[in-house]
Amino acid sequence: MTAGAPTPQEGPPRASRDEVARVPAQTDAGGEWLLEGRAAFERGRIADAIDCFRRVIDAGSAAPEAYLYLGIALAKDAQVYEAIDIFEAGLALAPDDFMLNLTLADLYFRLSVPDKGRRYLQVARDGCSTPSGRQLVQALLSREADREKRRIDRPTFERS
């Protein structure tokens, strides 16, 4: 995986192999569901991936990665509000998680809600400890600057 800027079709920024290495080992059912969900996602079976990631969370052994992957899968499946809720639930458990903050910032930027995007990006930037993480932050800043140049309307996208 590269730390370069992904195209809009690729979805949110991706972690390097080192950053993904935090996934729990396969010694527990949650780890097995997490790995199976990631495999399903990579094969394009988004509904199966969502089901696996939900099982990890429902089993109570949910690491922040489960929330991250579920949120990404939901966003890819156009379930944006639920994706935001899942990212925020993950951040309630791990408020300084780099990838959760970065991915939620990216989602808000894509939804033309730059104020919220900047808030989450700042937390991600503050928690960034690797060169690849800094490259992901820089790539997101660059993409947002490009979007900002093209942006015409700024809806608030606030829920009632």
Q: Pull the structure tokens for residue 92.
A: 């309630």
pLDDT given for residue 142 in this prediction: 85
Residues of the chain within CATH 1.25.40.10 domain(s) are 18-94
Q: Is the entire prediction scored with pTM above 0.75?
A: no
Summary mean pLDDT of the chain? 80
Calculate helix-pair angle for 64-76, 98-110, nearest 10 degrees: 20
Query: Which residue type does 101 have?
Result: N
Question: pLDDT tens digits for 30-56?
Answer: 788 889 999 999 999 999 999 999 999
Confidence bin at 28 (pLDDT 50/70/90): low
Fold of the domain spanning 18-94: 1.25.40
* CA gap 88, 82 in Å, rounded: 10
Question: pLDDT tens digits for 117-157?
Answer: 989 998 998 888 889 888 888 888 888 888 887 776 655 56
Query: Which residue type does 1 have?
Result: M
The region, left, alpha or beta by phi > 0 then psi within -120 to 50, assigned to residue 130 is beta
